Amino acid sequence: MATRSNPSSEPETLTLAELNELRAKLLATRGEILARARLRVAEVLESDTNVGDELDAASHDSAQALELRLADKDRKLLVLVEHALDKFATGEYGLCEGTGDPIERGRLHLRPWVRYSVEYQELVERERDIYED
C-alpha cells in the first residue's frame, strides 16, 4: 500500500458506529449474493432439459446465458465484498488502496466494498483507457 499523500493533515477516520453499520451492509450484501446463487443453482437443477422445438431451445439458451452473466457479476461483487470484510481485520477498511488516504464517507455508504477514493479511481480508469487504445 502506498503512503498517505497528505501526511500533514489528520485523516478523517470513521466512527465505530459507522464501521459497524458498513460491516453490517457488507454482510447483508454477501448474504443476498449467496442467496441468489443458491436460487440459481436450484433453478438449474430443476429446469427441464427437454425444452421442445428450436425456438424453445433458443429461448432457454438465451435465458441461461443471461443467468450466467448475472452469476458472474455477482461472483465479482462477492470478491469485492469479501475483500472489504477482510480489511476490517487489518484495520485498513475505509482507506484507499492506492494512496492510503481515507475514502469519502458518502462513497463508502453507497458502495461499502469500494477499494479506491474517487480521485484514485479516476486515475486508474484514465490509465486503463490509455493502455487499452
Q: Provide the residue-wise pLDDT of the chain in tens; the chain has 133 residues.
A: 444 444 434 447 899 999 999 999 999 999 999 999 999 888 877 776 666 788 877 887 888 888 889 999 999 999 999 999 999 999 999 999 999 999 999 999 999 999 999 999 999 999 998 988 6
Count of structural domains, the chain: 2
How many CB atoms are located within 10 Å of the residue 112 CB? 23
DSSP state of 53: S
Residue 4 lies in a domain: no
Residues 6, 120 contacting (CB under 8 angstroms): no
Looking at the DSSP bridge assignments, the partners of residue 95 are: 102
Same domain? For 69 and 87 the reply is yes
Dist. CA 99–CA 10, nearest whole Å: 15
Residue 29 lies in a domain: yes
Residues 32, 130 contacting (CB under 8 angstroms): no
Residue 120 lies in a domain: yes
Query: What domain range is 84 assigned to?
Result: 15-93
Same domain? For 127 and 80 the reply is no
Residue 10 lies in a domain: no
What global pTM score does this model have?
0.78
Residue with cell 476490517: 88
Same domain? For 26 and 82 the reply is yes
